[in-house]
A and B are shown apart, each in its own frame.
Chain A
Amino acid sequence: MRNILKAAIGAVAMAAMALGATAPAGAETEMDEILQRGELRVGVQTQGAPVSFINKNGERTGLAIEIVKMMADDLGVKLVLQDYDWKGLIPALLGGKFDFIAADMTPTPQRTAQLLFSRPFFYQETVAMTAKDSGRTSWQDLNKDGVNVGGVQGGTYVTAIKEFLPAATVKEFASGPASAQALAAGRVDGALTDLGNARSYVGEYDNLMILDGVITREPLAFATRAENGHLKFWMDNYFELISANGKLDRLVEYWWSSRAWEADHK
């Protein structure tokens, strides 16, 4: 018994030492830091085409990736991409692992309370997928007791399932591909994702289809830490610029609205 008490006290002492006291981080602005170190560090995830994925040559590409590549080129710095699980993106950003998140992230009220989002670069449409032989036609068909619907842990699809499919049971997956995989394996009855990803998943898994109707529409933006005001305005300005000169539209057309990218990357 005494040994256990000792173990517990020792453990608490170790934990307290590990946590330590808080101290302020560096003083200069984050843009200076990026330019000085000559590296733009960006957190991304690998949720599959067309936002961020590994192409046939083993290179990372996609809509979000091509935008940050342009950003780094224009700043004249090296681009360092860090691949995370979806749920790990925000904690890692808050932990200072990289400068900002470039993913298909929606600025929800809860997230914006913690993070600083750029202006939206795109509006995505949330849709539902199901198995071809399920006999379902529209996303409302998933709103039944005993129906399992997959979404990404901590993502807005999970929120959408709870809001628009209240009768269904939510199953939270670590990533979009995992939920598509589980759907294809028959582990769940439906999965929510955005139209762009859904098109690519049904292209890959022959037994899946997209259900009729758009469930909800959401803006997508890049996110940085609350104190990175300079970087936020820089990103806003950047999206303004590439919207005006048409570069953003061309990227969205190539990656999202058409399947033109498949010829080059699949």
Chain B
Amino acid sequence: MEHYIDIFQAVLPSLLEGFWRTLGISLAGILGGSLIGFLLGLVRGQHIRYFTPLIGGYLHLLRGTPFLVQLYVVYFVLPNTGISLLMWDSLTAVLLCLAIYTSSYVTEIVSGAIRAIPRGQWEGAFAIGMRRGQTLWHIILPQSVMLILPSLGSVYVNLIKATSIVSVVGISELTRQGEINILRFPGDILFIYAIVAMIYFCYCFPVLKLVDWLEKNAGRQRAARKRPSPTPGGSAPLNEPNVKA
């Protein structure tokens, strides 16, 4: 027992250091991803010629390839084009990659939420002389927010878990710090992995619980209205955002 306490004290500082980096990367990722995703989702939700199919291609491209492969492409292939603009340092590349990855989910959530608002509301707003932007801001978005929030929480948990993969290119986040500590105490590999898993759990689980709570509450408020996802509680189908964390 004493042995485990010693190991715990020895590894905890550097694991926490890794956790802070995981926290920072995931926060930056969700901010960037939400921003890109929100803008693209606004466009995609309204059927604008050329843009909507182009964004569709972007989403399929991101959803059809593993994050690890996307990371390798952004990391190793894009700088290889020789364009100096694309030669990011490692952290920028990782953040960009996570933001793009996240944006594919957010786009689909936002556009789905906008489309979930009945067509008649747009027509009504136009009829009383409101412009497209005004309609979006005053009529559509306020109703969509409760549809967006729970799904966004699931995306966030997905993102947190995806950050573990950036350890592969040497960002010293939580998983990477775990590996480095295993090098120091190879005999206690299971124990160190358990601590790492526990830290992830403490980060993700509350978010997941919040998502469940939001889903229940949002569900109560609009019990009569249809949900954007046809399978509550499960993963969404291929042509819907796969966001269940």
Do chains A and B directly touch (beta carbons under 8 Å) in the complex?
yes
CB of A244 closer than 8 Å to a CB of B: no
B82 at interface (Cβ–Cβ under 8 A)?
yes
Question: Nearest residue in B to A89 (C-beta to C-beta)?
Answer: B170
Asked whether, in the complex, the Cβ of A95 is within 8 Å of the Cβ of B80, the reply is: yes
Closest residue on chain A to residue B14 by CB atoms: A58
In the bound complex, CA of A25 to CA of B90 (Å) = 18
Which of B49-57, B196-204, B206-214 forms contacts with chain A?
B49-57
Residue B84 at the A interface, CB < 8 A?
yes
Total B residues in contact with A, Cβ cutoff 8 Å: 38
Residues of A near B89 (CB, < 8 A) are 82, 97
Which of A24, A45, A83 has the most chain B CB atoms closer than 10 A to its own CB? A83
Q: Which of B41-75 contact A (CB under 8 A)?
A: 53-58, 60-61, 64, 75
Residues on A with C-beta less than 8 A from B54 are 10, 13-14
Asked if B170 contacts A85 (CB within 8 A), the reply is yes
Residues of B contacting A185 with CB < 8 Å? 189
Among the stretches B118-126, B155-163, B176-184, the one at the interface with A is B176-184
Q: List residues 1-48 of chain A with CB under 8 A from any CB of chain B.
A: 6-15, 18-26, 45-46, 48
Inter-chain contact B183/A95, CB cutoff 8 Å: no
Cβ of B183 and Cβ of A13 under 8 Å apart? no
The docked-state distance in angstroms from the alpha carbon of A25 to that of B82 is 6
Listed by A's residue number, 23 A-B pairs whose Cβ atoms lie within 8 Å are A6-B53, A7-B57, A8-B60, A10-B53, A11-B64, A54-B183, A54-B184, A58-B14, A82-B90, A83-B172, A88-B76, A88-B169, A92-B75, A92-B76, A92-B169, A95-B79, A95-B80, A95-B87, A97-B90, A174-B168, A177-B182, A180-B186, A204-B186
Q: Which residues of A contact B (CB under 8 A)?
A: 6-15, 18-26, 45-46, 48, 53-54, 56, 58, 82-85, 88, 91-92, 94-97, 174, 177, 180-181, 184-185, 204-206
